[in-house]
Amino acid sequence: MLKKVLLSLLLLGLSSNLMAEKDLLKEFMKDQYSMDYTKETRGLLRNINVYKYPAWVSKITLQNGKVVFFCSPKSMIEFYNRPAIRPEVGVKKEEDFKQILVTDFATMKPINAKGAFYVYGSNKTSPAGDDLPAFATYESAEQFMKKNNGKRVMSFHQIPAALIKLLNGKI
């Protein structure tokens, strides 16, 4: 009987330590990703007020501390693929990008853009037109795709530059 009580206490202690570690991780992750735009913040490429379209906001933080916002994932990816279109930002190489965020279309929370899943061809458009709604999980993206007539779910690295041109009407 004493062994069972001691084992229960030990497991309870391990369980509460695990819960404390999970809480610390959640707190760390919460601080790591934030969209700190204001009512005046405008997107870099299209000069659209991002505050009015929170489901679409994307953000790039550079190693030099500069922060640029975009009115949609499509606009952010367009800049990411061709940063020379805005030389005043100062991106010369891949290492200049420190953090790239998009807004999860389902939860409205900021997520890592390179780990997100994007839906192509849905009936939802951003202020920049045809776009790529972003999601934290493949399952959320797939569910959205089915519900909104999407054509395909893609990861960040599966999105070709030609698709961005197509979405922008340049092909």
E-state strands within 47-160:
58-62, 67-70, 97-103, 110-112, 117-120, 125-126, 129-130, 134-135, 152-155
Confidence of residue 1 (pLDDT cuts 50, 70, 90): low
Cα–Cα distance measured from residue 150 to residue 26, given in angstroms and rounded to the nearest whole number = 32
Cα–Cα distance measured from residue 144 to residue 132, given in angstroms and rounded to the nearest whole number = 11
Alpha helices in the chain (DSSP H): 2-32, 73-81, 138-147, 161-167
Which of 5-9, 14-18, 52-56, 73-77 shows the lowest mean pLDDT across its residues?
Answer: 5-9
Of residues 74 and 13, more confidence is placed in 74
Looking at residue 18, its pLDDT comes to: 47
Cα–Cα distance measured from residue 43 to residue 93, given in angstroms and rounded to the nearest whole number = 21
Place of tokens 């084992």: 7
Instruction: Please determine, for residue 13, whether its predicted confidence score (pLDDT) is greater than 80.
Output: no
Instruction: Kindly state the average pLDDT of the residues 136-154.
Output: 98
Instruction: Please determine, for residue 167, whether its predicted confidence score (pLDDT) is greater than 70.
Output: yes
> In 3D, which of 116, 113, 129 has the Cα closest to residue 167?
129
- What are the structural domain ranges in the chain? 1-32, 50-167
Confidence of residue 170 (pLDDT cuts 50, 70, 90): confident
Looking at residue 21, its pLDDT comes to: 55
Helix, strand, or coil (residue 124): coil
